[in-house]
Every structure is written in C-alpha cells, then in structure tokens.
Amino acid sequence: QVQLVESGGGLVQAGGSLRLSCAASGRTFSSYTMGWFRQAPGKEREFVAAISWRGYRIYYADSVKGRFTISSDSAKNMVYLQMNSLVPEDTAVYYCAAKRSDAVPKYAYWGQGTQVTVAS
C-alpha cells in the first residue's frame, strides 16, 4: 500500500519561502511519477508540479514556473517542493500524489495535505 505523508507547510509572509516534503513508502517507486497539487478554499484542486522518480522529466504549472522547484531523492524516498517568492494566491492545501508512470493519466495515490498560508 502506497503511503504519502506531506510536511513543511505553515504561515509565511508574501515574498518568503517554504519547502514542502513528501515521504513515500509502500512500493518501489522507480517508475513512478510524483506530483504536487493544491486546493484553495472554494476552488478546484490544481496541478502544481510533477517529476519522474529519477528526475528525468519535470513539469510545472505556468503559475509557479520560476518560483517553485520540484525535486526527488530516490535514496530517501522523498519528494520536495521548494517554493520561493510566495504570494497570497499560493495559499492552499498542498497535496503530494503518485502515479505508476507518466503514461497513466490519473494519480492513484494521495497524501493528506499540508496547509500553506501566505500573508500579504
């Protein structure tokens, strides 16, 4: 059973930084694609970034390009989201997600989420 546990959320001032972590367990993730999504109050969940487990392919939403960086540490089964130059619009619950490969359209595994609040 795949388990994903996020950490690192919190309250930060606009312009500040946070690093989210996702601890993955329960499988061998060598072929998996890992993603970060977010959901703000009253809005649908949206894609933020994704990375193939060994880092060969990386994708970002346009809204975070140049500010957020996704990375993975396969030895530790960890995925990270470094968030810089945060703005209030980044306020949301951030979720880590996993799917078996890039070819699979939907993410099958989700963490419980971590709250990120950016104060203006």
- Specify the pLDDT at position 10: 97
Which residue type sits at 15? G
For residue 94, the SS3 value is strand
What token pair was written down for 65? 């390009």
Query: How far is Cα 38 from Cα 93, in angstroms, rounded to an integer?
Result: 5
Predicted confidence (pLDDT) per residue in 90-115, tens digit: 999 999 999 998 889 999 999 999 99
Rounded Cα–Cα distance for residues 52 and 31 (Å): 7
Best CA proximity match to 47, nearest among 31, 30, 34, 29:
34
pLDDT at 44 over 90: yes
Q: Determine the longest span between alpha carbons in the chain, in angstroms.
A: 41
